[in-house]
Amino acid sequence: MLDPKIIRDEPEKVRKMLKDRAVEFDFDKMLELDKKRRELIKETDELRKKRNQMSIAIGQAKKSNKDTSTLLTTMTEISKELDALEQSQKTVESDYTHLAFSIPNLIHESVPIGDDESANVELRKWGKIPQFDFQIRDHIDLGQNLNVIDLERAAKTAGARFYYLKGGLVKLSQALISFALDFMADKEYNLIQPPYMINRNSMEGAIIADDFEDVIYKIQDEDLFLIGTSEHAIAAMHSDEILDGNQLPLRYTSFSPCFRKEAGAHGKDQKGIFRVHQFDKIEQFVFAKPENSWDEHEKMISTTEEFYQKLEIPFKVKLLSSGDMGKVSAKTFDIEAWMPGQSAYREIVSCSNCLDFQSRRLKIRFRDKSNEDTKYIHTLNSTLVAIERTIVSIMENFQTHDGHIRIPQVLQKYFGEKII
Q: Write the DSSP assignment of 82-124 as a string of letters.
A: HHHHHHHHHHHHHHHHHHHTTSPPP--TTSPP-SSGGG-EEEE
Task: Decide the pairing of beta strands 241-244 and 250-259.
Answer: unpaired
Give all strands (DSSP E) within 213-249, no chain letters.
225-226, 241-244
pLDDT classification of 209: cutoffs 50, 70, 90: confident
pLDDT in tens, 239-258: 999 999 999 999 999 999 99
d(CA 307, CA 401): 27
pTM, rounded to two decimals? 0.90
Q: Report how far Cα 26 is from the mean position of its chain's Cα atoms.
A: 23
**Rg, the chain, Cα only:** 27
Q: Cβ distance 339 to 393 under 8 Å?
A: yes
More confident residue, 68 or 11: 11
Say if residue 272 is exposed, middle or buried (CB neighbours under 10 Å; 0-12, 13-18, 19+). Answer: buried
Is residue 223 within 8 A of residue 199, CB to CB? The reply is: yes
Interatomic CA distance for residues 12 and 9, integer angstroms: 9
> What pLDDT is stored for residue 70 in this prediction?
87
User: pLDDT tens digits, residue range 351-401?
Assistant: 999 999 999 999 999 999 988 999 999 999 999 999 999 999 999 999 999
pLDDT computed for residue 142 by the predictor: 96
- Ramachandran sector of residue 147 (left: φ over 0; alpha: ψ -120 to 50; beta: rest): left
Rounded distance between C-alpha atoms, residue 155 and residue 146, angstroms:
19
For β-strands 378-386 and 278-288, DSSP reports them as: antiparallel
Q: What is the pLDDT of residue 214?
A: 76
| Number of other residues whose CB lies within 10 A of the CB of residue 15 | 13
Query: Which residue, 126, 130, 148, 137, is CA-closest to 397?
Result: 130
The predicted model gives 272-288 an average pLDDT of 96
Residue 212 predicted with pLDDT over 80 = no
* Domains located in the chain, CATH noted: 26-100 (1.10.287.40), 117-415 (3.30.930.10)
Do residues 226 and 197 make contact, with C-beta atoms less than 8 angstroms apart? yes
Q: Output the CA–CA distances (angstroms, integers) from residue 250 to 78, 96, 293, 303, in the order listed.
A: 51, 32, 11, 16
| Distance in angstroms (rounded) separating the CA atoms of residues 197 and 223 | 9
Q: How far is CA 33 from the centre of its chain?
A: 27
Phi/psi zone of residue 272: left (φ > 0), alpha (ψ -120 to 50 degrees), beta? left
Instruction: Report pLDDT digits (tens) over 258-279.
Output: 999 975 555 567 689 999 999 9
Q: Residue 257 has what pLDDT? A: 96
- The pLDDT mean for the chain works out to 94
Q: Which residues pair with 244 in a beta bridge?
A: 367
